[in-house]
Structures are given as structure tokens and as C-alpha cells.
Amino acid sequence: MSQSMQESTNEAQIKQLFTKAYGQPGPTPDQWKAIYANDVHFIDPTQERRGIDAYILAQNNLLQRCDDVFLEPHSIALNKNVAFIEWTMGLKIQGIEFIYPGATRMTFGTDRKIIEHRDYFDFVGPTFGPVPILGNFTRWLYKRFVA
């Protein structure tokens, strides 16, 4: 790891970014803007956004659609201008808790702000698995594709 990476972005800072308990507020726009570049590129299984304002809107929309959200970090790996983090996200919606294990790859620009944030997780299984009827269909469909 380069000295500049250690000085400006470390494991503790990334862990803090990926930590939110149920009942706690999410980051403020100023907190997002302090660590994300103005032209950040955000991708996850459900959307793709460009720019800090679009990124903040995506995060706020998630928080507003859910009764509550938690995010718990696990393993973190830093290598030059890239960080990977494993995490677990929980969403409470209308009395049902949905749990998503996933990972994120973040790329840092020369100013050490995040210029790309890509989330990897299974959206379909955890979303539709707990839902009556749809859950059975989802599990059947997964079995058709996985031996």
C-alpha cells in the first residue's frame, strides 16, 4: 500500500463509511461530499448513477423506501487506489427484514476521493425469497440454474 493511501484513506475510515446500525441516521450530504468525487460513478444490481448529487439521491431514496436500514462491514482489502469490502445490509420493509450479503469495490482518484463505487450482491434471492408464493418460485428458479 502506498504511503499516501495510508495517510488519506485507511481501513478505519472505510469501516466507518460502511457502518450503520438500525435506528441510526445515514450520512449527511456534506459527509458524502467529503469522501466522494463530484463525478463519482455508482453501480449496483438495480441502478447506475453518475455524479455526487445522483449518488446522494440514490442513497436517500433507499433510506426513504425502507422502515430502517443497517450496514455492517466485514473484511476490507486496500491495494493502491482500490478498496474492496465485504458487508451485510439489512432492510426492514413493512415488518419484513431482508438481508443482503455483498461486497463493494471502490476506486480512489488522485485526490483520494471515491471516483467509482460498485456494489455486488444478489438482489433477487433475498428480496423475493421471504415473500409467500414468490419465494417458492424464486428458489425453484435458482435450482434450475444451479446444480
Output the pTM of the full model. 0.83
pLDDT digits (tens, 9 = 90+) for 44-60: 999 999 999 999 999 99
pLDDT digits (tens, 9 = 90+) for 84-126: 999 999 999 988 899 999 999 999 999 999 999 999 999 888 8
Q: What is the reported pLDDT for 4?
A: 40
Q: Are strands 114-121 and 36-44 parallel, antiparallel or unpaired?
A: parallel
Q: Rounded CA gap, 55 and 59, in Å?
A: 6
Q: What is the reported pLDDT for 143?
A: 79
- Is the separation of the CB atoms in 76 and 83 below 8 Å? yes
Q: Rounded CA gap, 99 and 107, in Å?
A: 25
Percent of the chain predicted with pLDDT > 70: 93
Q: What is the reported pLDDT for 7?
A: 41
- Is the separation of the CB atoms in 37 and 52 below 8 Å? yes
pLDDT confidence band for 1 (50 / 70 / 90):
very low
Which helix H or strand E contains 42, and what residues bound it?
Answer: strand 36-44
Q: What is the reported pLDDT for 134?
A: 81
**Mean of all residue pLDDT scores within the chain:** 88
Give the closest residue to 45 by CA, choosing from 107, 102, 130. 102
Task: State whether the Cα torsion 123-129-135-138 is positive or negative.
Answer: positive
Q: What is the reported pLDDT for 9?
A: 59
58 versus 139: the higher-pLDDT residue is 58
C-alpha cell recorded at residue 79: 491495494
Q: Rounded CA gap, 35 and 30, in Å?
A: 9
Give all domains of the chain, ordered by start, each with its CATH number. Answer: 3-145 (3.10.450.50)
